[in-house]
Chain A
Amino acid sequence: MVLEGSERELVEACRRGEREAFRALFEIYRDRVYSIALRYSGDETAAMDIAQDTFLKLFASIHQFRGDAAFQTWIYRLVVNSCFDHKRRTRRLVPLAAGFLATLRASADSLADLLRSEVRTSVRTAVDRLSPSLRMVIVLRYTEALSYEEIATVLGCSEGTVASRLNRAHKALGRRLSHLANEGNRHV
């Protein structure tokens, strides 16, 4: 079955224009949509824009959903497209500058905090520097814990392509974060 019973009813109610159904559907998917947007963009304002754009598209085009794919997959496709569109529309902060600002914002009360903040910033910066297609695969894999098959369905590519992109992303991240890995191993 593609749609769960309650979700199918919600989609039907949305098609009839029932406002409460929209709200209910929003509550089911809001965290997932926002999480993908935030982890992809690395910026809360951009994530809000992307999430808003995704839900507006969802509500405007829900009558086009035919039910031959999982509804969740359909929403994932919408948010992925919104992420890529947002990337095209706006220029991002230089990752290093974003990292620097994040470090300034981070609390540095203790050495441990400082180290954690550095690791967080370094990982964020390394992910930001990945190409959009590699970054999206990483986000879908680690934020939403999707399988290779699910990622392939969302992105409209083969599982082999997903595996290849993940492998390239891991290698790039491994290279950029190798200094942290060495430090981490020393501290452990």
Chain B
Amino acid sequence: MSEWLELELADRLAPVRAPERLWHSLQTADPLANSRQRSVRPVKTVLLVAAAAAASVWLAAVWRPEVRNARTAGFSANPVEFHVACRSCHTD
């Protein structure tokens, strides 16, 4: 490697003084607060997901689809009654 490059690198990459505001920026960024925030976030997420899952299960257990018409009602209840109902409706 050339001596020129060695000198340039030593010159251009020389150490510098850190700005005075660095200590202030450390004081405003509270590491304890950050770690608390990090640890709380997953717990919140887990609780929200669990609540959503429980709500879905409850809804699936409670909810029944409403009967839409006589055809589906008769078909699901009793085929014979459905046949009668069908006859009464259709006048062919």
A residues with a Cβ closer than 8 A to B are 23, 26, 30-35, 38-39, 44, 48, 51-52, 55-56, 59-60, 119-120, 123-124, 127, 138-139, 142-144, 170, 173-174, 177, 180-181, 184-185
Tell me, yes or no, whether B15 is within 8 Å of chain A by CB.
yes
- Chain A residues with CB under 8 A of B29: 52, 56
Q: How far is the CB of A71 from chain B (nearest CB, A)?
A: 18
Tally the A-B contacts, defined by beta carbons under 8 Å.
Answer: 78
List the 5 shortest-distance A-B pairs measured between CB atoms, nearest first. Answer: A34-B18, A35-B15, A142-B13, A170-B1, A30-B18
- Chain A residues with CB under 8 A of B23: 23, 26, 30
Contact B19 A185 (CB under 8 A): no
B residues with a Cβ closer than 8 A to A are 1-2, 4-5, 8-10, 12-19, 21-23, 25-26, 29, 31, 34-35
Do A120 and B4 contact each other (CB < 8 Å), given the known contacts A48-B22, A48-B25, A52-B25? no
The majority secondary structure among interface residues of chain B is helix
Q: How far is the CB of A172 from chain B (nearest CB, A)?
A: 11
- Chain B residues with CB under 8 A of A26: 23, 26
